[in-house]
Amino acid sequence: MDVDTPLIPKEEKDIYVSISKSYEEKVKRKREIIFRIIEIIVVLGQQNIPFRGHNWNKEKKIEDDNFSRFLRWKADDVPILKLHLENAPYNVQYTSPDIQNELINLCGLQIKDTIIKKASEAKWFSIMAAESTDVGKKEQMALCIRCVEKNATVFEGFIGFIEMEKVDSESIAAAIVDTVQECRYLSGDDTGKLVIAGSNDDEPMPSDTLIEKAGKDIRFKNNVKHVGQQE
């Protein structure tokens, strides 16, 4: 074969380039649309506004809820979003309740990672735990992280609710240990120091023995009011 002969004819190269550019533009457009939808989700979450009501129409696949109203409002100023909502098939509009929940969970994971990263960078951090029962009578534990940032300001971040099959000391200890290990996983070392605080003296908070496996630098206090008095 002549060394000057191209492996792919110019005509085919042009087709490949055209397909590649078309695909890149499609991906870019989809990302822009999803980004705009996520913006709505973040605003609703920040303002503690409920997403959905009770009038979901399964046949028409529409609902006159806060999420839909905010989405239509934003689409008036974002042509690419307006065009998408008007022309895209329902199964690729990224606005169904299932997709909303998926995007909400992804936003929550991003926030959680940011909070844990702050804790992993601090010299000391504390985990505050409080057991409660939701309206569905499910046992759960709320976990918050508290630490002092490099600029000497106190930071508190809500990690989330953990569903508990049991609320005995061993189950609570396991949930706390998992959170501690996650903090250290992000920090990449074992230098973090931790104080664990329960919200009141009546809860079945874990003993020092149960928490020991989380690390030698952990201190335990069963009342959050006294955490600041640790030496």
**pLDDT tens-digit readout, 100-128:** 999 999 998 898 888 888 887 877 778 78
Number of domain units in the chain: 2
* Residues 223 and 132 reside in one and the same domain: yes
Residue 33 in any domain: the answer is yes
Q: Is residue 4 part of a domain?
A: no
Nearest residue to 156 via CA among 143, 171, 170, 138: 143
Range name among 68-72, 159-163, 171-175 with the lowest pLDDT average: 171-175
Say yes or no: 223 and 119 in one domain.
yes
Percentage of residues in the chain having pLDDT higher than 70: 65
Do 55 and 81 belong together in one domain? Answer: yes
Query: Terminus-to-terminus CA distance in the chain, angstroms?
Result: 80
Q: Which of 47-51, 76-80, 94-98, 211-215 has the highest mean pLDDT?
A: 76-80
**pTM, 2 dp:** 0.67
CA 148 to chain centre: 22
| φ/ψ bin of 48: left (φ > 0), alpha (ψ from -120 to 50), beta (otherwise) | left
> Do 124 and 82 sit in the same domain of this protein?
no
- Same domain as 54, residue 91: yes
Co-location of 132 and 213 in the same domain:
yes
Integer Cα distance of 211 and 170 in angstroms? 9
**Residue 172 structural domain:** 112-229
Return the closest-CA partner of residue 120 out of 84, 91, 145: 145
Tell me what the pLDDT averaged over the chain comes to: 74
Is residue 34 over pLDDT 90?
yes
Closest CA to 131 of 180, 183, 171: 171
Q: Tokens 């913006």 identify what position?
A: 39
Domain for residue 106, yes or no? Answer: no
Residue position matching structure tokens 């992280």: 145
Is residue 145 domain-shared with residue 192, that is, in the same domain? yes
